[in-house]
């Protein structure tokens, strides 16, 4: 993909974030952020009994990269099993945002996926505790 096309996609996700907002009665909510940059995020998910992410919403205050990256990865995780999401690596974010941005802004680039994985860990701990 050409650099200009990638920048257009990133700006579109920044200006029109997908899955932005709140979920009424989420199965998990996680607050995270990147203290170095001042980015903050609240992420909510609805997860089926089978472990499928049925819905994801987030509210974020941060830079273009963290906003766009979170929007982009949120589209990728809907209708995926949490075990599949836990396997998403940094290569996925490199494909979405491009190598140059990942190198220059690694924490901002990975804020979305790192927060999603943290929310899944929280969900699994809470589910396990409720079953005991």
Do 112 and 69 meet the contact criterion of CB atoms below 8 Å apart?
yes
Give the pLDDT confidence of 63-78 residue by residue, as tens digits: 999 999 999 999 999 9
**Bridge partners, 41 (sequence order):** 32, 60
Q: Where are the domains of the chain?
A: 3-131
Q: What average pLDDT does this structure show over 17-28?
A: 97
pTM for the model stands at: 0.94
**Considering the chain, what is the average pLDDT of its residues?**
94
Q: Looking at domain 3-131, which of 3.50.50.60, 3.90.1010.10, 3.30.465.10, 3.20.190.10 is its CATH number?
A: 3.90.1010.10
**Bridge partners, 81 (sequence order):** 52
pLDDT of residue 33: 92
pLDDT of residue 30: 98
Q: Which of the two residues, 1 and 42, has the higher pLDDT score?
A: 42
| Angstrom distance (rounded) from CA 71 to CA 56 | 10
């Amino acid at each position: 993909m050409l650099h200009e096309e990638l920048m257009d996609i990133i700006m579109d996700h920044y200006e029109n974030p997908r899955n932005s907002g709140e979920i009424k009665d989420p199965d998990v909510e996680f607050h995270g952020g990147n203290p170095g940059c001042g980015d903050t995020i609240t992420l909510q998910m609805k997860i089926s009994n089978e472990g499928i992410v049925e819905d994801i919403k987030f509210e974020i205050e941060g830079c273009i990269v963290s906003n766009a990256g979170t929007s982009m990865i949120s589209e990728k995780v809907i209708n995926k099993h949490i075990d599949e999401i836990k396997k998403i690596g940094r290569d996925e974010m490199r494909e979405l945002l491009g190598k140059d941005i990942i190198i220059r802004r690694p924490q901002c680039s990975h804020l979305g996926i790192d927060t999603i994985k943290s929310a899944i860990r929280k969900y699994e701990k809470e589910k396990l505790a409720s079953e005991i």
